[in-house]
Amino acid sequence: MDRLPRQDQRGIAWDHANQRALFATLPQPGTAFGENEFPAAVAVYLGLADPLIVSHVNMRGCSFFDDSNGPRQLDVWGNSLSLYMGRGHGRTIYHNAVQRELADLARSVGFAIRETPTDLFIQDIDVSSRERFAQDLGAGRKRDGQEFRGGLVPDLYAPSTSQMFDVKTTGFRVENYVGRRSCVDEKAATVPAQYKRRAQQTDQEYNSTPVGTIGPVELKVASMPQVECFSVGAFGEVNKAVMTFLETLAKKGSEEPERFGCCHGKEQAKGVVAQFLRRRLGRTLLKGAVRVRHTALAAIGGIVGSRRTARAATECLGNEWDAAGRPAGSWNF
């Protein structure tokens, strides 16, 4: 791998794609991959061209597509599609799927968790503004050119520790992945400051707090543990906070070994539960990474794949990994 150029997709995938659950588990309702999703998942994992995108390029011949921030160049790996935020994008669906899966896993081991608790800071809002605050939470509106949802609403919240969690998904940013920088860690590092700004905005909007003055909501946020970010990258990779959370859930689940069919005590149960959690989440992450690309492809007018496309994909996905120095010859682009 060290001999590959830094920009080679195979080397990038080698360093970042670590969701192996697809290849070690049987599908369950909600985690099964579609006929075009499975070969695409293999492609993402190995750093190969996505057959469905290749079919689109070969049939349509277009190399650029319009995004919300201007034109992007279409690549056969779906890197640029993973960044798509135009009409019909799938990033919000992916975010919600990750959030829901983490919440479901927490509940499966008896860990108390709340999703998007809109009432978390209601007692810190001036009484005269609470109704408007609640309405804005539901409606959402624009403020300073950014989406402002009426205040702080974490994606997940653990009442037992007052811990807030925020889920972030990130597409393929060239400077991060080619430079072998941790995209998930860099994204996660921005979240605490983001929450502080949101708290200040909330105080100024609903508590009439002067700029530069600490209001009730900001004070409440400061008294809580720092928000944790569950950060997901373009290959479905995650930051350390996600793994730490899964370890916490595994420990919680091991308190009732019989719940998971374990008869040798808590230590055995902890390992069994941890493996179950990692594999279940891993399938969701890799499936979501693929669907973000395919949803974007459909949004820009991409073709709908056929069974023939899927079969062809399984036959030639490995050709790019054949003997070094030989041209792949499998893709016509």
38-71 pLDDT, tens per residue?
999 999 999 999 999 998 888 776 688 889 888 9
Burial annotation 259-272 (CB, 10 A radius, 16+ → b, else e): ebebeeeeeebbeb
Which residue do the tokens 């919240």 mark?
Answer: 157
Q: What is the mean pLDDT of residues 136-145?
A: 59
| pLDDT score recorded for residue 277 | 92
Q: What is the CA radius of gyration of the chain?
A: 22
Q: What are the residues facing 157 on neighbouring strands?
A: 114, 164
Residue 16 contacts residue 239 (beta carbons within 8 Å): no
Residue 238 has pLDDT above 90, yes or no: yes
Bin 296: left if φ > 0, else alpha if -120 < ψ < 50, else beta: alpha
Burial annotation 185-217 (CB, 10 A radius, 16+ → b, else e): ebbbeebeeebbebbbbbbbbbbebeeeeebbb
305-333 pLDDT, tens per residue?
444 544 444 444 444 434 334 334 333 32
* Residue whose C-alpha is closest to residue 101's, from 281, 286, 289, 291: 281
Average pLDDT, the chain: 85
Q: What are the residues facing 142 on neighbouring strands?
A: 147
Pairing relationship of beta strands 228-232 and 163-169 according to DSSP bridges: parallel
**Ranges 2-16, 207-221, 237-251, 265-279: which has the least confidence:** 265-279
285-297 pLDDT, tens per residue?
999 999 999 999 9
Residue 98 has pLDDT above 60, yes or no: yes
**Ranges 57-71, 166-180, 203-217, 276-290: which has the least confidence:** 57-71
Give the containing element (helix H, strand E) for 46.
helix 37-46
| pLDDT score recorded for residue 333 | 26
pTM equals 0.85
| pLDDT score recorded for residue 314 | 40
